[in-house]
A and B are shown apart, each in its own frame.
Chain A
Amino acid sequence: MPRDSLITSEDDIDVGLDLAGEDEVFSSNEGHERERHRGKRRDGDGEKKKRKKRRRKGAHRAEEGEDEVQTRHERREREKRRRAKNDQEAKGRERDEEERVQTTSGKVAKTKKNIRNENTRRRVEEEEVEVEERLEKRKKKHGSAKKEEKKEDEGKQMVKEKEREVKKKKHKKVVETSSEQETSEEEDDKEEDSKDEEMRPECLTPEELEKLKEAVDERKKLIQSLRGKPWPMKKKLVTLRESQEFVEKYEGALGKGKGRKLYAYKVMMTKKWMKFQRDFENFKTACIPWEMKIKEIESHFGSSVASYFIFLRWMYGINMILFGLTFGLVMVPEALMGRPYGSMPRKTVPRSEETSAMDFAVLWDFGGYAQYSVLFYGFYNNQRAIGWLKFRMPLSYFLVGVGTVAYSYMVVIRTMARNANESGVGDDNSFNFSWKMFTSWDYLIGNPETADNKFASITTSFKEAILEEQESHKDDNIHLTRFLRVLANFLVLCCLAGSGYLIYFVVRRSQKFALDGLENHTWWERNEVNMVMSLLGMFCPMLFDVISTLENYHPRVALQWQLGRIFALFLGNLYTFIIALMDEINLKREEEKIVKFNITTWEASLYNGTISENSTAPSITINPADVPRGPCWETMVGQEFVRLIISDTMTTYITLLIGDFLRAVLVRFLNYCWCWDLEAGFPSYSEFDVSGNVLGLIFNQGMIWMGAFYAPCLPALNVLRLHVSMYLQCWAVMCCNVPQERVFKASGSNNFYMAMLLVILFLSTLPAIYTIVTIPPSFDCGPFSGKNRMFDVIHETLESDFPAWFSKVFSYASNPGLVLPFILLMVLAIYYLQSTSKSYRQANVELKKKLQTQNEENKKKNKRAALKAQMDLEEARKAASQAAEEQKNNNASLQGQEADEEENYVSSHRLYHGKNGRNPPPMNGDRQLLASRAPGPRTYHHGNHGASGYLPGFSEPRMCRVPSLQRH
C-alpha cells in the first residue's frame, strides 16, 4: 500500500504544481480547498481500486448466478440507503440539492439566489468541493479535459458557472460510461443515484432513517462476527468486502480509517492479552513446585498416587513455614546475639566428652558439638534480653513453640474447611463421559513427550470413570457382603487388640529390664520393643490388606479403611514411644536432683577453698567445661526425636531402594534367564503403596510437632527430608513401579488425610503441652532455667515489660469467673453454627436432588417429544403418499388446463417472492417433505400454492432466488 499511495501523492504534487502554475488568481481559501481535494482524491483512488477489485470479483462471480443477482439487488438497496443518508445529512443541504435539481432542469432562479446569497454561499462552496473532486477524478483520466475546465475555473467563480459545469460533467460522464466499460459500474451507480435524487427529492421518513442505521449497524456487526461464521474463506472474503463497502459508503469517510485502525489495534491487543494470559498461567504453574512432576505421575498412575504427592507438597509448605519461624526467631538470634560457644557451662562440651566430641559417630547421633549448639534446647541462655536489639530470647522461644502448634492447627482446620467447601459444591457430572471424550485432548500440544503423557492421562481418567461407573452399578448379594464386612472388621479388631496387648506386654517387660539395668540382658531383650514394633508394622498392614479383600468395597473406600486400620496400629507405636520417653524423663529428673545436691556441695567446697587460700582474690576463673552440670532432660528428649527422624528417614529410603529399585532391576534383567515370567508372574514390579506412604508422612509430622519445642532444628531437618523424598519417590515411582490394576479417582485435596493429620496433631501436642505445663525445667540449661515452670516467662514479661494496668487487666481476664462463661459462650456459638450449617447442607442436598430429577424429566420429555414427532412424520408421509396418488389422478384430468396457467402462475409467484422474500429457504429434504405433506386431494387453485413439487422445472429458479433475497 505505501508504495501505491506514495505514487499517488507524487502525482498529486505534480498536479498541484500544474495548478499553481496556471491558477494564480486562486484565493487562499480555495487553495485550502484544493488541499482537501487532494485528500479526497486519494480516497477516491482507494475507492477506484476497490471498484476494480469488485469488478474482478464480479467476473469471478459471474459463474454463480445467484450471487450476481444478489449483488445487483444489494446495490439497488445501497443506493436507496445512500439516498436516505444524503437526505439525512443536512436539511440545508437538501434544499441546496433542490436548487441544483432546479438548475439542472434549466429553471434557474437567480433572484432567489440573490436573496439567500449569504446563506447559500457556504453550501455552494461545499458543493464546489464535490464538483472538483469529480473533476479531478476525471482529470486523471483525461488530461485534456482538465485543462479546459481549469480555464473555466480560472475565469469565473460564480455559482452559476459551477452548476453549469456540473451539468456538463454529468453529461460527459454519461459519454464516458459508454466508451469505457470498465468504470461503468460505479459511475452507473452515481448516475442512478443522482437520477434518483432528481426523481425523489423529498426527504426520507424517520423510519427509513432508522432502517438505514440499522442496516449499517447490521453490516458492522457482520464484519465483527465474520470470524465466527463457519464459512469457507472465500465466502468470508466476499461477504466482508461487500459489507465493508456498504458501511464505508454510508458511514462516510468520517472516522472510517480511524475505526479500522482501532479495530486492528483492538485485534492486536486482544491477541497480545491472550498470549499474556496464557504465559501468565504457565508462569503460575511453573511457580507451583513440582507441578509438572506430579502431573506426569498422575497421568500414568492415576489420581490416588498423585494425591499422596500433593499431600507431600502441602506438608512441605507447612514445614517451610515452621522452619522459617524457628530459624528466624530462635536459632539465628541466639547464634548471632547470644553468648558465644564456650562462654558458659551449658554452651560448652564437658571435659569428659571433649575427646570424642568431633567423632562422626557421635555427631551422627547428635551428641558432642551438635548437642551443645543452637540445634537443641539446652544451648539457650536464660538471659532475659540479648544483643543490642534487646531481643527477649526466652519469651520468643516460648511463643515460637506455642505458635508452631497453633499455626499447624489453624492451617489444618482451614484446609479441611476449604476442601469440604469444594466437595460440597460438587461438579456437574451430567456429561461426564462425553466431556471426557470430546474435550480432553489439548490441541496446543506439540511435544511428543507431552502428547504421550496426555494419552496416558486420558486413558487413566477413562479407566477411573469406567471404574466409578461399574462400582455404581454393582449389586451383589447384600447380605453376604454385609456379613463379610462384619467378619472383616471383627478380624481386624482382633488383630489390633492382639498387637496392642503385645505392645503393652513388651513395654512393661522392657521397663522391668531397664530397672534391673540393661547390662545383664541379651541383645534381644534390650531391643525387644523396637523389634516388635517394626515387625508389627511390617506384617499387620499386609494382613489388613488381605482381610479388606473380603469386604468388596470401592477402592477409594477401601483405601480409607486401610488407612484407618494402620493408623490405629501405629497409635500403639506412638504410645510405646511416649511411655518410654516419660520413663526416661523421670529417670533424668532423679539424676538431676542428685547432681543439684552435688553441685551445691562442690560449690561450697570451692568457695571454702578459695577463701581459705586467698582472701584477696575471690573470683577464680573455672573453665566452663569443668563445671559439673545436670543431665538436662529437655535436650535429651530433643535428641531422641532427632534420632528417630533420622533413622526413620533412612529406613524409608533404604526400603525404597531395596524393595522397589532392586526388585525392579532384578525382575527386569533376570527375566531373560528365568524359568517363569518374572514380570507377569510372582515378584513382578511393585505397586505404589499409597496408604503406607501417607501414614509414614503423617506420623513423621506428628514427631516433628512433638519434638520441635525441644529441638528447634527439627523442622529444618524435616524440610530436608521431604525435599529429598519428593525427588526420590517421584523417580522411584516413575522408574520402578507399575500402576495399580484398578485405578480409582481420588480428589487431590483429600480430607481424609487431613482428618488423620488433625488427630495426630492433637495426639502429639498433648505430651508436649503436658511436659511444658507440669514438669519444671532443668535448673542449668535452656532458656527457662531457674524458673519454676516454663510458662512463667509470660508472667515475667507482663510484669516487667508492660505497664501495670495491662497486667491487671490480664489477671482479671484470666480469672476463672470470666474464662468459664466465655468458654460456655463459645460452645453455644459452635453449636448454633453447626446446626445451621447442617440445615443448609440438607437444603443443598434436597435442591440437588430436585435438579437431578428435573433434568431427567426433561430428558424423558424430550425423548418422548422426539418419538412423537417421528410418529407424526410417518403418519404424514403415509397420508401424503395417499394424497399424491389421488393428486395424480386429479392431475391427469386437469393437465390441459394447468399447462396454460403455469407460466402465469410462476411469474406472479416470482413477483410475490421478490417483493417480500419471507419464505424460508427451502432445502432439498424440506421441499420433498413439504410436497409430501400437502394433505388431501387438491383442486387446481390449491395446487398453485404448494406446487413446487409438481413443477420441477420452475421451482429451480425460485430456489436460487429466495436465499439471495433472504440475506438482508
Chain B
Amino acid sequence: MGNKQTIFTDEQLDAYQVRLVCVFYSRLHGRYHELAPHLVPMDYTNEPDCKLPLALIVNMPELKENPFRNRIVESFSEDGMGNLSFNEFVDMFSVLSEMAPRELKAIYAFKIYDFNVDNYLCKEDLEKTLNKLTKEELTPEEVQLVCEKAIEEADLDGDNKLSFADFENMITRAPDFLR
C-alpha cells in the first residue's frame, strides 16, 4: 500500500470507505494522471485543485468512439464546460460502470442527451442525438420524422418535449437499457 499513501492521505483513502476500492481508486487516479502528467500531481494529500480540460478526457479509449463523448464529459463537469476535477472524474466512471443502478444511469443519460441544458429534451436535442448516432446519414426529412415520432411516443403531458419523468418512464421499459 506504500504507493497509495504517497498519493492520498490515509483519511482520504478511508473516506472512500471500502478498502478494496482503494485499488480501483488509485488505478483510476493513475488514469487521470496519465492524461496530463504535467497538470495532475501525484501527491493528493493536500487536495490540490486541478482540472483536466475536455479535450484530454475525450481522448481516453473508453470514450474515444462514443458519439456522445463531449456531452458525457460536459454533463459531469461542474462548470458545464467539460473541465473535470478528479472527484468528477471518479463520478463519471462510477456512473458509467456496470455496477451503477439503472435509476442513476437514467438520470445521467437524461443529462447527456439534454444538449442545451434546459432540463427538457426538446426537438433540437433529439435531432442532435440522432445525427450523432447515425453520423448524419439520414436525410433531414427522415430525421424530422424520427424526432416527431419519438416525441409523440414518449411525451406524456403533451408539451412537445420530454421532461425527465417522460424520459424515465420510457427508458425504464426499454429492453436494451442496461438492467
A: which residues have CB within 8 A of B? 1-4, 49-50, 52-53, 56, 227-230, 232-234, 237, 240-241, 244, 260, 263-264, 267-268, 270-271, 274, 278, 427-428, 430-441, 443, 445-448, 450-451, 455, 458-459, 462-463, 465-466, 469, 859, 862-863, 865-867
A233 lies within 8 A of B133 (CB): no
Known: A1-B19, A866-B157. A437 touches B130 (CB 8 A): yes
Q: Measured between alpha carbons, how far is A3 from B5 in the docked complex, in Å? A: 10
Nearest Cβ in chain A — how far from B59, in angstroms?
Answer: 12
Q: Which of B29-37, B50-58, B147-155 contacts A (4 or more CB under 8 A)?
A: B147-155
Q: A240-B17, A430-B153 are in contact. Are A435 and B133 (CB under 8 A)?
A: no
Which one of B68, B138, B159, B174 has the greatest number of beta carbons of chain A within 10 Å? B174
Inter-chain CA distance A49–B176, complex, in Å, is 46
| A52 CA / B87 CA spacing, docked (Å) | 22
Let me know if B42 is at the binding interface, CB within 8 A. no
Q: Which residue of A lies closest to B98 (CB)?
A: A274
Provide the bound-state CA to CA distance between A841 and B156, in Å.
31
A-B pair number, CB within 8 angstroms: 169
CB of A559 to closest CB in B, whole Å: 22
In the bound complex, how far is the Cα of B112 from the Cα of A443, in angstroms? 13
Contact of B174 among A228, A232, A438 (CB under 8 A): A438
- Select A462's contact among B78, B88, B134, beta carbons within 8 Å: B134
**Digit string of B80-122 for contact with A (CB within 8 Å is 1, else 0)?**
0000000110110010101111011001110001000000000
Q: Cα distance A748–B111 when bound, in Å?
A: 35
Contact with A along B17-35 (1 / 0, CB 8 A): 1111100000000000000
Contacts of B146 in A (CB 8 A): 433, 436-437, 462, 465-466
Q: List 19 other contacts, CB 8 Å, given A441-B68, A455-B67.
A: A49-B10, A53-B15, A228-B100, A230-B104, A240-B17, A267-B20, A431-B154, A435-B177, A437-B129, A437-B150, A450-B65, A458-B134, A459-B135, A462-B130, A462-B133, A463-B138, A466-B138, A466-B145, A866-B157
Tell me the complex Cα distance, A260–B18, Å: 7
Least Cβ–Cβ distance between B87 and chain A, in angstroms: 4
Q: Is the CB of B101 within 8 A of A228?
A: yes
Asked if A438 and B18 make an inter-chain contact with CB atoms under 8 angstroms apart, the answer reads no
Which residues from chain A contact B104 at a C-beta distance below 8 Å?
A: 227-230
A440 touches B176 (CB 8 A): yes
With a cutoff of 8 Å between Cβ atoms, the chain A residues found around residue B99 in the complex are 227, 267, 270-271, 274
A866 with B159, Cβ < 8 A, contacts A228-B104, A451-B65 known = yes
A264 touches B19 (CB 8 A): yes
**Cα-based distance from A56 to B167 in the complex (angstroms):** 41
In the complex, are the beta carbons of A432 and B153 less than 8 A apart?
yes
* Residues from chain B with Cβ under 8 Å of A435 in the complex: 170-171, 174-177
* Contact A233:B87 (CB < 8 A) given known A430-B153, A441-B66, A867-B158: yes
B40 in contact (CB, < 8 A): no
* Interface, chain B (partner A; CB < 8 A): 1-2, 5, 10-11, 13-21, 61-62, 64-68, 78, 87-88, 90-91, 94, 96, 98-101, 103-104, 107-109, 113, 126, 129-130, 133-135, 137-138, 142, 145-146, 149-150, 153-154, 156-159, 167, 170-171, 173-177
With both beta carbons as reference points, the residue of chain A lying nearest to B60 in the complex is identified as: A446
Report B-chain residues with C-beta under 8 Å of the C-beta of A436.
146
Q: How distant is A852 from chain B, measured CB to nearest CB, in Å? A: 13
Q: Could you list 11 A-B pairs, sorted by A, with CB under 8 Å?
A: A50-B14, A237-B16, A267-B20, A431-B170, A434-B170, A438-B109, A438-B167, A438-B170, A441-B66, A462-B130, A465-B146
Q: How far is the CB of A736 from chain B (nearest CB, A)?
A: 21
Inter-chain contact A859/B19, CB cutoff 8 Å: no
| Chain B residues within an 8 Å CB radius of A862 | 156-158
CB distance from B67 to the nearest CB of A (A): 7
Contacts of B21 in A (CB 8 A): 264, 267
Please measure, in the bound complex, the distance between the C-alpha atom of A50 and the C-alpha atom of B156, giving whole angstroms. Answer: 49
CB–CB B138/A459 < 8 A: yes
Contact call A434/B134, Cβ cutoff below 8 A: no
**Residues of the A chain whose Cβ atoms lie less than 8 Å from the Cβ of B126:** 437
Cβ of B156 and Cβ of A859 under 8 Å apart?
yes
Cα A50 to Cα B13 with chains together (Å): 12
List A contacts of B157 (CB < 8 A): 862-863, 865-866
Q: Is the CB of B65 within 8 A of A447?
A: yes
| Residues on B with beta carbons closer than 8 Å to the beta carbon of A437 | 126, 129-130, 133, 146, 150
Would B15 and A227 count as touching, CB distance under 8 A?
A: no
A274 to B145, CA, bound (A): 38
Note all chain B residues with C-beta closer than 8 A to A271: 99
Chain B nearest Cβ from A248, distance in angstroms = 12
Whether the Cβ atoms of A455 and B19 lie closer than 8 Å is no
- Closest B-chain residue to A268, C-beta based? B20
How far is B19's CA from A711's CA once the two chains are assembled, in angstroms? 69
Which residues of chain B come closer than 8 Å to A448, judged between CB atoms? 64-65
Min distance, Cβ A433 to any Cβ of chain B, angstroms: 4
When the two chains form their complex, are residues B100 and A227 in contact, meaning their CB atoms are under 8 A apart?
A: yes
B158 touches A863 (CB 8 A): yes
Which residue on B lies nearest to A466, using beta carbons?
Answer: B142
- The reply to whether B173 and A455 form a contact with Cβ atoms under 8 Å apart is no
Contact A455 B135 (CB under 8 A): yes
Nearest-CB distance from B101 to chain A (Å)? Answer: 4
Q: Is the CB of B18 within 8 A of A267?
A: yes
- Knowing A244-B17, A455-B133, say if A446 contacts B64 (CB, 8 Å): yes
* Chain B residues whose CB sits within 8 angstroms of the CB of A53 once the complex forms: 11, 14-15
CA distance A565 to B153 in the complex (A): 39
What is the CA–CA distance of A433 and B171 in the complex, to the nearest angstrom? 11
CB distance from B43 to the nearest CB of A (A): 17
Complex-state Cα separation, A865 to B150, whole angstroms: 21
* Cα distance A343–B146 in the bound complex, in angstroms: 75
Beyond A438-B174, A867-B158, is A49–B11 a contact (Cβ under 8 Å)? yes
Give every chain A residue within 8 A of B158 (Cβ-Cβ). 862-863, 866-867
Residue of A nearest to B136 (CB): A459
Residues of B within 8 A of A451 (CB): 65
Q: What separation, in Å, do the CA atoms of A355 and B107 have in the docked complex?
A: 82
Considering the chains assembled together, what is the distance between the CA atoms of A463 and B135 in angstroms?
13
Contact B67 A1 (CB under 8 A): no
Residues from chain A with Cβ under 8 Å of B16 in the complex: 237
Assembled-state Cα–Cα distance A56/B15 (Å): 12
Cβ contacts under 8 Å, A463 to chain B: 138, 142
A residues less than 8 Å from B134 (CB atoms): 455, 458-459, 462
A270 to B18, CA, bound (A): 14
Cα distance A936–B53 in the bound complex, in angstroms = 54
CB distance from B107 to the nearest CB of A (A): 4
Residues of A within 8 A of B91 (CB): 232-233
Closest-CB distance, B38 to chain A (whole angstroms): 24
Chain B contacts for A260, CB-based, 8 A: 17-18
Q: Is the CB of A263 within 8 A of B88?
A: no
In the assembly, what is the distance between CA of A465 and CA of B138, in Å? Answer: 12
Q: A52-B11, A264-B18, A439-B171 are in contact. Are A458 and B133 (CB under 8 A)?
A: yes
Contact A228 B103 (CB under 8 A): yes
Residues on A with C-beta less than 8 A from B65 are: 445-448, 450-451
Interchain nearest-CB distance for A285 vs B (Å): 16
Residue ID in chain B nearest A430 by CB atoms = B153
* Shortest Cβ distance from residue B130 to the other chain A in the assembled complex, whole angstroms: 6
> Closest approach, in angstroms, between the C-beta of A533 and any C-beta of chain B?
43
A268 to B170, CA, bound (A): 32
A557 nearest CB across to chain B (Å): 22
A60 nearest in chain B by CB position = B47
Chain B minimum-CB-distance residue to A870: B159
Residues of B within 8 A of A4 (CB): 10
Known A-B contacts A228-B103, A466-B146; the reply to A446 vs B62 at CB < 8 A is: yes
Set of chain A residues within 8 Å of B156, measured between Cβ atoms: 859, 862-863, 866
Tell me which of A227, A455, A859 contacts B94 (CB under 8 A): A227
| Residue pair B88, A232 in contact (C-beta under 8 Å) | yes
- Residue numbers in B under 8 Å from A430 (CB-CB): 153
CA distance A463 to B146 in the complex (A): 10
Residue of B nearest to A865 (CB): B157
Contacts of B100 in A (CB 8 A): 227-228
Q: Are the C-beta atoms of A462 and B138 separated by less than 8 Å? A: yes
